[in-house]
Amino acid sequence: MTEKPIVIKTPAEMILDSRAARARGERVGLVPTMGALHQGHISLLDYTRQHCDRLVVSIFVNPIQFNKKDDLEKYPRTWEQDTARCAEAGADVIYAPDAAVMYPAGFQTKVAVGAMAQGLCGAFRPGHFDGVTTVVLKLFNAVRPHLAVFGQKDYQQLKVIQRMCQDLDLEVEVVGCPTVREPDGLALSSRNVHLSPSERRQSLCLYKALSRARALAQAGEREAAALIAAARREIESSPLARLEYLEVVDAETLEPVSRLERPARMCLAAWLGDTRLIDNMGLD
Ligand code: AMP
């Protein structure tokens, strides 16, 4: 039988819980999420379960990382299903603070990473990564995890958080797990529920574009412009997809690269109707 995780609603209680776990000599692992849990999230829980004694899942739809009000309002919320999934995955704690607890009146601090957070999604979602790094640092301070696990699906987010940890001397190991996809290749995302059937069909062009670029790179193509052109053609063949950006970047610094000499990644964002999807893939 799966035991129900305990639900903690305030940083003060979360700190006490983790302090007790650490005093027992347990290794604490954290998986930050915004809920609407799918198999991509569960893969992070499974990884963390295997590498920690106490598994904490945070569920918090973080208002300060949304740069559009309607995106925040229509973000799917599935609390009952999420708690059942956390129980099934062996979570010990669900940390689910309210926005008023996280950001009480008078709150005025933010954590901002530099250049790495400015390109790619950062260029199109002003303030987004400041919201992410601020909430993640708050989660780290409350949960005090030894290990925190994120998805490579949000590759820039993963790298920005690793940068923050290094820059601010945080004692947290940050690991990125591979992207979990639908059988046809679409990356799982909580926002996929908003796709109409025709948008869902055409959304496949994103995975096809990335796979095409990777195949070309593996066959020896070194010029980023050639990889971008091939990927762009795949996406342009799907009339419902509107490309926001498509770039080849250094896998560590996220700086644009023109020739593949070190590990590189193709990253993209595209709109299908009113739904914005992101995806990325290593080119090696
Ligand atoms: P979110 O709830 O969308 O903020 O995502 C919470 C965590 O799950 C982040 O670290 C995401 O990168 C990760 N994640 C989201 N989708 C996937 C996926 N398809 N595969 C692996 N990890 C994912």
Tokens of 28: 């604490």
- Quote the crossing angle between the two packed helices 79-88 and 39-51, to the nearest 10°: 40
Mean pLDDT of 219-232: 98
Ligand 1: which atom is nearest the Cα of residue 189?
16
Residue 232 has pLDDT above 80, yes or no: yes
Gap between the Cα atoms of 276 and 190, Å rounded: 11
Mean pLDDT of 4-12: 97
Question: What are the residue ranges of helices labelled H in 196-241?
Answer: 197-202, 204-218, 224-236
Residue 80 has pLDDT above 70, yes or no: yes
Burial class (CB in 10 A: 0-12, 13-18, 19+), 114: exposed
Q: Is the shortest distance between the CB of 44 and ligand 1 below 6 Å?
A: yes
Catalytic annotation present for 41? yes
Cα 139 to ligand 1 centroid, rounded to whole Å: 16
- SS (HEC) of 58-120: EECCCHHHCCCHHHHHCCCCCHHHHHHHHHHCCCCEEECCCHHHHCCCCCCCCCCCCHHHCCC
> pLDDT tens for residues 264-280?
999 999 999 999 999 99
Gap between the Cα atoms of 49 and 30, Å rounded: 10
Kindly report the CA angle at 229 between 225 and 234, in degrees rounded to 5? 150
> pLDDT tens for residues 97-113?
999 999 999 999 999 99
Backbone angles phi, psi at 64, to 5 degrees: -75, -5
Q: What is the pLDDT of residue 1?
A: 53
SS3 274: coil
CB 283 within 8 A of CB 260: yes
pLDDT classification of 284: cutoffs 50, 70, 90: confident
Task: Specify the residue for token string 């958080």.
Answer: 161
Q: Which of 83, 25, 31 has the alpha carbon at shortest distance from 53? A: 25
CB 214 within 8 A of CB 266: yes
Gap between the Cα atoms of 140 and 130, Å rounded: 15
Residue 2 has pLDDT above 80, yes or no: no
Gap between the Cα atoms of 92 and 6, Å rounded: 6
Q: Is the shortest distance between the CB of 91 and ligand 1 below 6 Å?
A: no
DSSP β-ladder status, 264-272 and 241-250 = antiparallel
Backbone angles phi, psi at 88, to 5 degrees: -60, -35
Q: Is the shortest distance between the CB of 72 and ligand 1 below 6 Å?
A: no
Q: Whose CA is nearest to atom 5 of ligand 1?
A: 33
Averaged pLDDT score across all residues of the chain: 97
Q: What is the pLDDT of residue 3?
A: 84
CA distances from 7 to 29, 38, 59 (A): 16, 19, 10
Mean pLDDT of 18-37: 98
Mean pLDDT of 245-258: 98
Q: Which of 101, 95, 107 has the alpha carbon at shortest distance from 34? A: 95
CB 53 within 8 A of CB 90: no
Q: Is the shortest distance between the CB of 131 and ligand 1 below 6 Å?
A: no
CA distances from 23 to 108, 145, 204 (A): 33, 13, 48
CB 8 within 8 A of CB 125: no
Residue 241 has pLDDT above 60, yes or no: yes
- Which helix or strand (DSSP H or E) is residue 167 part of? helix 155-167
> pLDDT tens for residues 145-199?
999 999 999 999 999 999 999 999 999 999 999 999 999 999 999 999 999 999 9
Q: Is the shortest distance between the CB of 154 and ligand 1 below 6 Å?
A: yes
**Most ligand 1 atoms within 8 A of CB, residue of 38, 47, 129, 153 to mutate:** 153
